[in-house]
Every structure is written in structure tokens, then in C-alpha cells.
Amino acid sequence: KQVLAKIRTDGLMPTLEAVFSRLDEPLPLGYCNVGRVVEVGAGVTGFQVGDRVASNGAHAEMVCVPATLAARVPDDLDDVSASFTVLGSIGLHGVRLLEPTFGERFVVTGLGLIGLIAAQILRSCGCNVLGIDVNSERCRLAREFGCETVDLSTGADPVKAAQAFSEGGGVDGVIITASAKTDEIIHQAAEMCRKRGRIVLTGVIGLNLRRVDFYEKELSFQVSCSYGPGRYDPAYEARAQDYPQPYVRWTVARNFEAMLDAMAQKRVDVAKLITRTMPQGEAASAYDAIVKDSGVLGVVMTYPEQNAPTGRVTRLKQPSANGVAKGAVVAGVIGAGSFTKLVLLPAIKAAGASVRSVASAGGVSSLHAARKFEADEATTDYRAMLADSSINTVFITTRHNQHARMVVEALEAGKHVFVEKPLAIDEDGLEAVRAAHAAHPKQHLMVGFNRRFAPHTVKARQLLAGRAQPVCVHITVNAGDIPGDNWNHDPNVGGGRIIGEGCHFIDLARTLVGTEIERVGAVMFGPNFGGVREDKMSINLTFADGSIATVMYWANGPKSFPKERVEVFSEGRVLVMDNWRRLQGFDWRVPKMGMRQDKGHNAEVAAFVQAIQRGDAPLIPFDELDEVTRASFAAMRSARDGVIVALNEVCAEAPALEPAAR
């Protein structure tokens, strides 16, 4: 449905490109490991270099994980056992949701790794456990852990067995750790339970529930989420904002610690769950065994005893022995997300620039991008890229809060800089960029305001060039809703959607009018609205020549409605740009143009590369980049305070800037 809607609004080819790019994205495997800390991030407490820790990092020699998704391993617990911490915490969290009390009777359906660990945890709580599985060997293991079992391969009836196990009264609860498509498992769980019994689903099964199963017994049913409270919460994971222990006793990290303690004190035995131990070099065989061999329960993958490589650069090929031609653009790209790989890197290559290095915080994404676009190397340390004298141009496509800092560092390293919008998310960042630009005026600084370079914008500017009167510009943006906890909404990370994306359309209006913005007024949803308000905003811009523009940035529309529409009213005529696929003129002769959506990305990058090669002036004068950024700040201030903001009052201590090119 989403793909069809995108085809209708954006066209077939852009949709296919987006779909294939997503399918081409590699995913790191695994989420259970143990190792030693080699580096601690700024502000991280509780860990130090050399600590032995368990974490949810991928299967790799070197991983980077949030502090809230790791725990120190007790000295008396071996590495192999500790590697089960995260997996065990999934079972532990499911058991916590059951709220077991001493002497109760529970069924564990599915005796895989998580099921067998959950069964041991229940036993250590003083509960009686009945394990159910189709695998005879796993039933045997469960009996070793003190459980009664039902081997479904013998044709046994699990419901009758549960009734016998509970002496006819029904079990107190069922934890489902199985993976199956059938709905029968949940029906059987309901039949097994006593009145007001508890069912917790930790696995993945069919969930076509029957009301009668739950109604007559007043059963409770809950789906457990991963390792516990905090999982998938950006505030907990990315910003390390722990939940207060008096209110959330068992967070992810505290579950990890409890699991480690349980294994250290021998209350949970994972040694019997290991079928094979294999070296890292046989990783493909290890994954194959888990998927294809039903006799394999747990596989431990070991890494060489020597220290893992600490180098941050992976060399894919040697740079050309002939060196770099004078005037050539040799690029380093910081950031390897979907936009970078789908749009920016192809545009860089098409423009004739060579890609020397690709950097990202996650090595998987940068390595994949570097291989795909034939870069010389991949790295997780962008500063190594900045120190490389063979690179003369840097493209920055990271999260917004990193833009200003990276721009400053790149300029100070003597690089030309192309940074995706926004240039900065706050006034301090903008001031820092101003100072760096003033100190390095010979370096090109470009912000990715690609709509300036779209064919429809170029043609519209040509048609408007001879006007004698002010114009009225109306821009409608069907931005689409994104979850309230998305990083774009975080003022400290994304800057909010107006500063982070709305600046695109402020710049577009600035481009079409061609004179300075003087005043900004904005309104957004009222305070009675319970969700995010700022991405439902109307922004009014007043220009030095008397022109006016309105940007309607609205996130409450459907995907089936076109994303962008631009209308320009001038001297009795109207130009309409419809989602970058069609340009219409009313009482204006407009040449016929192609229907393929073109937002100007390729033309923008080509012009940027060409300007560097030829030694031309910057494509967008810095004072316009500064002006548009300040206008986005002014829009937020106006919407919050209910005032019209004079642009010369925003970041008023502006340094002298070069005159704008006309």
C-alpha cells in the first residue's frame, strides 16, 4: 500500500530506486556478545577500559554499544556463560511479566534456548514447571533442570498433560517461547490456565484469539518486549537516560546484571545448552547449523585470543599510483545512511568526483557503501578522513546535531565542505560555523539546498527574472507524520522538523524571490493538541523588495497526497510546480518539460564539483546560507512566542559577510 502510494505521488522510478536501496541494505547479525572495553565515550560512567562486559552488540571483533545496553561480568563467571546474558534476559523479562510466586505451577511452551533458560529461572523462583516441545532431546534437557515435560513428538496431548500437572485446577500461567505460525498454541495456553491465569508471549506465534477462551476465565495476556523496560526507547538507549530504580526496578541493564548474577551463582546453567563451539572464521557454518539442523541448540562463536584490531580504517584498494590530477575533486563522505547511498553517492560519482573514503559510526554501513561505490577505504573515524591530505572535499550527511561541529572541523582541516541541511540547529552552532568560514574564506561551503537546482526552479527563476513588482509565493509541504520519539523531533539531535527540514522550503522561497528575508512570522498547532505541534506550522516570510511567501509545513496529511506544491503569483500570472514532476504556467508560456521527478540533487552536486574544479565562486553565497538558517530559528521563535521576528535580531552579532551574488 505504501509503495503504491509513493508510485502515485513520486513516480515509478524513484519508488523502485528507494525499494531496491532498502533491500540492498546489509544488517549486522547477532545481539549477544562478551568482551573487554577498549574505549569509553564522553560522559559514560560505570565502565572503564579493560572491564569485561556483556552487551547486545552484533557478532564482531569490535562493537560500539550504549552504556545502558551493557553490564560488567562478575569475576567468577566465564566468558562463554556470560555470552548468554542478553538471550537469557529475554526469558527473564518474560518470567517477570508472569509475576511468579513460590509454589505456583507454570507451563513453558517451546524449549529452545530462551525457553530452557526461562524454565530454570522459574525453578529458581520455587515454581513447578511443565515444559512442552516437539524435540525429545530438549525435553530431556528440561528434565535435567527439574522440569516435567510433554514430548509432542510422541503424540501426547499438552492440554491434558497440563491438567494432570496442575491436579485438575489449571496452571497459574503459561510463557510461550515457541516460534510457529499456528494459532493453536495460544488456544491451548488458555485451556491450560486456571481462572485468572496469566499468559505471556515471548516468542512469535499466530494470534487469532478466541474471546471465549479469555472471557470465561478472565485470563490476562501480555506480549513481552525484548530484554525489558528501556528497549527501543531512544532516551534510554541513545541518550543513556536511565529509569529511576524505585519506579522501574528492572530495566534492560538491571536485567543483564541479574542474569549475570544468576549464572555466576549457578542458579541458571547455560553450559548444557551449548551444542557446538566454533571459531569466528567458520561463522557462515555456525549460522547454517542453527537454521538447518534441528539438533543444534546453542552455538558459541569464539574470536582469536589476541586483541581485536583497533584500527578504524579498512583499506579496500590502494589509491592510484598516478596521483590526483590538478583540480580534481577527491571526496570523503561522512555518513552512510539510505539517503547517502541512494542519492548523494551516485550524484558524486556522476559528477566525476572520486570517492576516497566513507565514514560512519557503524562499520557495516560505511564498508557496504565504500564497496558499492568503489571507494578506496571505509572508516569509523571521520577525523582520520579529515587528516588525509589526499582528500580535498568532504560531504557531511550525519544527524543534524553533528553538522556544525563537523563543518568547523572540516574547514579547519582545509577541506571544501558540502553539508546536508541544516547548517546548524542552534545559534551557538551557527556562530561557530561563521567564525570558521571567516577564517577559511577560500574553502567552498555548501548546504544541500537541492531544490534550488531542480529544473523547475531554474526555469521559474528565468521566467521571474524580468519582473517589476513583488511576488507572492505559496509552498505547501505534505511532510508526513513521524513518531514523536523520532530523533528529528529532539531539539538537541534533530533540531525539530522546521529547523531540520523546513529550512529547505525557506531557502526555496528565498531563491524564487531573490532578495533578503526581513521578517518572519509563524503559527503552529495550539497548546491543546497533545502531540508534536511544530510540524504543523505556517511560516510567513517578508522580503526586502516587498514580496511575501508562505510555507505551509504540515505533517497531518495522507501519503496519497503529493508531498510538495509551489505556486508563484506575479503580475497577473501564475507558475505552479507540482511535486517536481510538472511545471504549469497560467497566462505564462512554459516550455514542456519531462515528467520524471527531479528535486535537483544531481545538478546540485555536479555544480558544486564543477565550481571547485574551475575555482569558481561558491554556488550559494555564505550570507544566504546564514540568512536561511537564521530564518528557520526565527520561525520557531515566532511560533513559540507569538511575535513577528525581525531577522536582523537573530544571531545579531553576525560578522561581515561577502555580498550576495545576483
Shared-domain flag, residues 470 and 551: yes
CA angle 371, 374, 376 (to 5 degrees): 90
CB-based contacts of 225, cutoff 8 Å, min separation 6: 93, 231, 232
Q: Residues 17, 128: one domain?
A: no
As a whole number of angstroms, the distance between CA 171 and CA 192 comes to 6
The SS3 assignment for 207 reads: coil
Helix axes 622-641, 503-513, angle to 10 degrees: 120
Cα-Cα-Cα-Cα torsion 111, 117, 119, 122, nearest 10 degrees, comes to: -160
C-alpha dist (Å) from residue 56 to 75, 113, 287, 303: 20, 16, 18, 17
Using one digit for the tens of pLDDT, what is the confidence trace for 60-75? 888 889 999 999 999 9
List the CATH number of the domain containing 513: 3.30.360.10
Q: Provide the grid cell at 522.
A: 509563524
**For the chain, what is the mean pLDDT?**
93
Taking the C-alpha atoms of residue 129 and residue 165, their distance in angstroms, rounded to an integer, is: 9
CA dist., res. 142 & res. 269, Å (int): 11
Residue 318 has a pLDDT of 75
Report the CATH number at residue 387. Answer: 3.40.50.720
Residue 240, in any domain of the structure:
no
Task: Check whether residue 456 and residue 437 sit in a common domain.
Answer: no
Residue 659: which pLDDT band, with cuts at 50, 70 and 90? very low
Domain for residue 341, yes or no?
A: yes
Question: Residues 478, 420: one domain?
Answer: no
- Answer yes or no: is pLDDT of 662 > 50: no
Q: Based on the domain organization, do 459 and 546 belong to the same domain?
A: yes
The cell numbers describing 384, all together, are: 582520520
The stretch 651-657 carries a mean pLDDT of 54
* pLDDT tens for each residue of 445-456: 999 999 999 999
Nearest to 417 by CA among 399, 400, 433, 401: 433
Under the banding of pLDDT at 50, 70 and 90, the label for residue 16 is low
What is the band of 637 on the pLDDT scale with cuts at 50, 70, 90?
Answer: very high
Specify whether 462 is located in the same domain as 367.
Answer: no
| pLDDT value at residue 9 | 63
7 within a domain of the structure (yes/no)? yes
Angle at which helix 403-412 crosses helix 427-439, to 10 degrees, equals 10
β-pairing verdict for 416-419 and 393-396: parallel
d(CA 344, CA 420): 10
What is the extent of the structural domain holding 118?
87-224
Q: Give the pLDDT band (50/70/90) at residue 655.
A: very low
What single letter denotes the amino acid at residue 609? V
343 secondary structure, DSSP code: I
Residues 632, 497 share a domain: yes
**Sheet strands (E) in 469-525:** 472-478, 517-524
Q: 203-260 pLDDT, tens per residue?
A: 999 999 999 999 999 999 999 999 999 999 988 998 889 999 999 999 999 999 999 9
Written in H, E and C, the secondary structure of 272-316 is HHEEEEEEHHHHHHHHHHHHHCCCCCEEEEECCCCCCCCCCEEEC
Rounded percentage of the chain residues whose pLDDT exceeds 70: 93
Identify the domain boundary among 178, 203, 224: 224
Cβ atoms of 317 and 338 closer than 8 Å: no
Contact 142, 164 (CB under 8 A): no
Give the tens place of pLDDT for each residue, 121-148: 999 999 999 999 999 999 999 999 999 9
Mean pLDDT of 386-400: 97
Is residue 119 located within the same domain as residue 23? no
- Is 374 within a domain? yes
| Alpha carbons 208 and 222: distance in angstroms, whole number | 14
Residue 658 falls within a domain, yes or no? no
In the predicted structure, residue 646 carries a pLDDT above the cut 50: yes
Residue 618 and residue 659: Cα distance in Å, rounded?
A: 12
How large is the average pLDDT for residues 97-110?
98
Full strand arrangement of the beta sheet holding 52-55: 33-36, 52-55, 70-72
At 548, phi and psi to the nearest 5?
A: -130, 150
Which pLDDT tens digit goes with each residue over 579-615? Answer: 999 999 999 989 888 778 999 999 999 999 999 999 9
Whether residue 446 contacts residue 475, with contact meaning beta carbons closer than 8 Å, is answered with: no
State the total domains in the chain.
Answer: 4
What is the rounded average pLDDT of the residues 611-628? Answer: 96
d(CA 163, CA 160): 5
- Do 468 and 434 lie in a common domain? no
Residue 304 pLDDT class (50, 70, 90 cuts): confident
18-57: per-residue pLDDT in tens? 666 666 677 788 999 999 999 999 889 999 999 999 999 9
- Domain boundary, last residue among 192, 224, 256: 224
The mean per-residue pLDDT over the stretch 533-548 comes to 98
pLDDT in tens, 497-507: 999 999 999 99
Is residue 10 within 8 A of residue 579, CB to CB? The reply is: yes
The confidence band for 530, taking pLDDT boundaries of 50, 70 and 90, is: confident
Residue carrying the nine cell digits 552487551:
55
pLDDT band for position 267 (cuts 50, 70, 90): very high
Domain for residue 54, yes or no? no
Note whether residue 115 is domain-resident: yes
- Whole-model pTM above 0.85? no
Q: What is the pLDDT of residues 162-197, one digit of tens each?
A: 999 999 999 999 999 999 999 999 999 999 999 999
For residue 237, tell me if it sits in a domain: no
What is the helix (H) or strand (E) element at residue 197, kind and residue range? strand 193-201
Residue 657 has pLDDT above 60, yes or no: no
Query: Taking residues 314-327, what's their average pLDDT?
Result: 71
One domain for residues 500 and 633: yes
* 552 shares a domain with 444: no
Q: Which of 449, 479, 494 is the last residue of a domain?
A: 449
pLDDT at residue 491 greater than cutoff 70: yes
Residues 389 and 436 in one domain: yes
Q: Which residue has the higher pLDDT, 104 or 364?
A: 104
CA diameter of the chain: 93
Closest CA to 342 of 319, 377, 313, 368: 368
